[in-house]
A and B are shown apart, each in its own frame.
Chain A
Amino acid sequence: MAMSRRLLLGSAALLAAPRTLRAQSRKLDILSHRVHQAVLTQGAAGDLTEAWRRARNAEIGWTTFDIGPLQDRLLREASLPQTDYGVGYLLNSRATAQTANLLEPLEDHLRSEPIEALDDIAPGLRAAMVVGGRTIGIPVRHATNGLFCNMALLEERGITAPPTSFEEFLDQCRRVAGRRSDGPPLAGLVMTAALAAYPVIFARAFGGDFITEDYRLLPDHEAMVKAISAIRGLFESGGLPRSYANITNEDQATWLMQGRAAFAILPFARHAQLNRPDQSRFAGRIQAVEFPVSSTAPAGTRMATTVEFWSMSIPRNARDKGLAWSFIQAMSSKSVTLGAARNGNGPVRVSTYADPGFAAENAVAAIEAAALSRARIPFPAFPEANRAEAIFVEEVQSAVLGRKTPAQAVEDTASRVRSLLPA
Chain B
Amino acid sequence: MRSGRLFIRLGKAVAVALILLWSLAPIALILSSSIKPEREIFAFPPSITFTPTFVHYEALWERWPDFFHALVNSLIVTVLATVLAVAASLCSGYAYSRFRGHWIDSSALFLIAVRLIPPIVCTLPLFPVANALGLQDTHAWLAALYATFFVSLGTFVMRAFIDQIPKELDEAAAVDGAGRLRTLFRVVAPLAAQGMLAVAVFVIVYAWNEFLFAFIFTSTRARTAPLVLAEIVGNFDGVEWGVLFAAASVQLAPVLLFVWVMQKHLVAGLTAGATKG
- A66 and B234 form a contact (CB under 8 A): yes
- A34 and B43 form a contact (CB under 8 A): no
Closest CB in chain A relative to B224 CB, distance in Å: 13
- A250 and B239 form a contact (CB under 8 A): yes
Q: Which residues of A contact B220 (CB under 8 A)?
A: 61-63
- B39 and A34 form a contact (CB under 8 A): no
User: Complex: how many Å from CA A280 to CA B124?
Assistant: 42
User: Complex: how many Å from CA A217 to CA B237?
Assistant: 31
Counting chain B CB atoms within 10 Å of each CB, the highest count among A34, A69, A270, A273 belongs to A34
- Given A257-B39, A258-B42, A35-B131 contact (CB < 8 Å): no
Closest CB in chain B relative to A356 CB, distance in Å: 25
- B234 and A67 form a contact (CB under 8 A): yes
Q: Which residues of B contact A270 (CB under 8 A)?
A: 237-238
- B237 and A66 form a contact (CB under 8 A): no
Q: Is A64 an interface residue (CB 8 A)?
A: yes
Closest CB in chain A relative to B52 CB, distance in Å: 15
Closest to B237 in A: A35
Q: Is A238 an interface residue (CB 8 A)?
A: no
Q: Is B50 an interface residue (CB 8 A)?
A: no
Instruction: Tell me which residues from 92 to 116 in chain B have a Cβ below 8 Å from any Cβ of chain A.
Output: none
Q: Which residues of A contact B215 (CB under 8 A)?
A: 65, 69
- A33 and B37 form a contact (CB under 8 A): no
Closest to B53 in A: A278
Instruction: Tell me which residues from 33 to 81 in chain B have a Cβ below 8 Å from any Cβ of chain A.
Output: 37-39, 42-45
State the majority secondary structure of interface residues on B.
loop
Closest CB in chain A relative to B59 CB, distance in Å: 10
Closest CB in chain A relative to B176 CB, distance in Å: 45
User: Complex: how many Å from CA A278 to CA B45?
Assistant: 18
Contact of A34 among B127, B235, B238, B239 (CB under 8 A): B235
Q: Is B145 an interface residue (CB 8 A)?
A: no
User: Complex: how many Å from CA A278 to CA B231?
Assistant: 22
Instruction: Tell me which residues from 202 to 247 in chain B have a Cβ below 8 Å from any Cβ of chain A.
Output: 215, 219-220, 227, 230-231, 233-239
Q: Which residues of A contact B37 (CB under 8 A)?
A: 278
Instruction: Tell me which residues from 41 to 69 in chain A have a Cβ below 8 Å from any Cβ of chain B.
Output: 61-69
Range for the number of chain B residues in contact with chain A: 20 to 34
- Given A76-B127, A260-B44, A67-B236 contact (CB < 8 Å): yes
Closest CB in chain A relative to B213 CB, distance in Å: 13
Contact of A253 among B127, B128, B233, B238 (CB under 8 A): B238
User: Complex: how many Å from CA A344 to CA B219?
Assistant: 25
> What 1/0 mask marks residues of chain B from 135 to 173 whose CB sits below 8 Å from any chain A CB?
000000000000000000000000000000000000000
- A254 and B42 form a contact (CB under 8 A): yes
Q: Which residues of A contact B124 (CB under 8 A)?
A: 76
Q: Is A269 an interface residue (CB 8 A)?
A: yes
Contact of B235 among A35, A63, A259 (CB under 8 A): A35
Closest CB in chain A relative to B84 CB, distance in Å: 26
- B39 and A279 form a contact (CB under 8 A): yes
Q: Which residues of A contact B42 (CB under 8 A)?
A: 254, 258
Closest CB in chain B relative to A83 CB, distance in Å: 9
- B39 and A278 form a contact (CB under 8 A): yes
Q: Is A143 an interface residue (CB 8 A)?
A: yes
- B239 and A269 form a contact (CB under 8 A): no
Q: Which residues of B contact A184 (CB under 8 A)?
A: 44-45
- B238 and A35 form a contact (CB under 8 A): no
User: Complex: how many Å from CA A35 to CA B39?
Assistant: 22
Closest CB in chain B relative to A310 CB, distance in Å: 9
Closest CB in chain B relative to A183 CB, distance in Å: 8
- B45 and A273 form a contact (CB under 8 A): no
Q: Is A179 an interface residue (CB 8 A)?
A: no
Q: Is A80 an interface residue (CB 8 A)?
A: yes
Closest CB in chain A relative to B247 CB, distance in Å: 13
- B238 and A273 form a contact (CB under 8 A): yes
- A33 and B236 form a contact (CB under 8 A): yes
Q: Which residues of B contact A65 (CB under 8 A)?
A: 215, 227, 230-231, 234
Instruction: Tell me which residues from 239 to 273 in chain A have a Cβ below 8 Å from any Cβ of chain B.
Output: 250, 253-254, 257-260, 269-270, 273
Closest to B241 in A: A254
- A–B pairs, 27, beta carbons within 8 Å: A34-B231, A34-B235, A61-B220, A62-B220, A63-B220, A64-B231, A65-B234, A66-B234, A67-B236, A69-B215, A69-B230, A76-B127, A80-B128, A80-B131, A184-B44, A250-B239, A254-B42, A257-B39, A258-B43, A258-B44, A260-B44, A273-B237, A273-B238, A278-B37, A278-B39, A279-B39, A344-B237
Top 7 nearest A-B pairs (CB, nearest first) are A66-B234, A63-B219, A273-B238, A254-B42, A279-B38, A66-B230, A66-B231
Chain B interface residues (CB < 8 Å from chain A): 37-39, 42-45, 124, 127-128, 131, 215, 219-220, 227, 230-231, 233-239
New A-B pairs, 20, CB < 8 Å, besides A258-B39, A279-B38: A34-B231, A34-B235, A35-B237, A63-B220, A65-B234, A67-B234, A67-B236, A68-B234, A69-B230, A184-B45, A258-B43, A258-B44, A269-B237, A270-B237, A270-B238, A278-B37, A278-B39, A280-B39, A281-B39, A344-B237
Chain A interface residues (CB < 8 Å from chain B): 33-35, 61-69, 76, 80, 143, 184, 250, 253-254, 257-260, 269-270, 273, 278-281, 344
